[in-house]
Amino acid sequence: MTFAWRAGVVIATATTALAFGTGTAVSVDNMFPNYGWQCYDGTMSNGTFCQTDNNSFTVWNQGTVPNSVKTTIRNTITAQYNPTDLNVSYASKGTYTGGSETDLVNQSGALPADTIGITWCDDAVTTLRCDQHYVRYNSSTAEVGPINGSDVCHETGHSVGLAHGRDSNPRISNTHSSLGCMSTNDVYSLGSMNRTNIKNVY
């Protein structure tokens, strides 16, 4: 089943039986890669997310992002990702070539009506790691509602390698409370499981 409402990237349109429901806390690996994924140079329509290339995590918002969303992005990433093992910084401009590209480039533009955001790797450096991810947020707030901190936390999570429940090991429901903002619920907090999985990698 496809979860287009909170889609970062749809890896598969069908799922197998899930290991857990939405109840008590569980400990699962929801960090890329699971189930044979590989990192590659992708596009918005044909791509996936990977781990970012190191713990230095730079963020840039292109001019298409409305000022209110830029504020939400900065506040959310500062509150949820800066306390992790990632060293977050905000670039004064985007760097799109070379060995030190901006790690996360946010933009706003047209997306399918039921999709809030999409994340993809633009420059894979290995089959595991990506030098630059893009996130596009839906510019049609009439269709999806204003972009909020839950949306930013979710899509930023994809850009450091965090996956949905159905792509975790073991698989859990996409609505499981342990996923924090990586669930398909409207959750604003990264949560302890995601922080642990970030710490284990970075």
What topology does CATH give the domain 51-201? Collagenase (Catalytic Domain) (3.40.390)
Separation of alpha carbons 103 and 177, rounded Å: 28
Separation of alpha carbons 189 and 150, rounded Å: 7
Separation of alpha carbons 146 and 188, rounded Å: 14
Task: Give the start-to-end residue ranges of the domains of the chain.
Answer: 51-201
- The answer to whether residue 175 scores a pLDDT higher than 60 is yes
What pTM value is reported for the model? Answer: 0.89
Average pLDDT over residues 3-23: 38
Q: pLDDT (tens digit, 9 = 90+) per residue, 53-92?
A: 999 999 999 999 999 999 999 999 999 999 999 999 999 9
* E strand or H helix that includes residue 143: helix 141-144
Separation of alpha carbons 196 and 198, rounded Å: 5
- The answer to whether residue 10 scores a pLDDT higher than 80 is no
Q: pLDDT (tens digit, 9 = 90+) per residue, 119-130?
A: 999 999 999 999
Task: Determine the 3-state secondary structure of 141 from DSSP.
Answer: helix
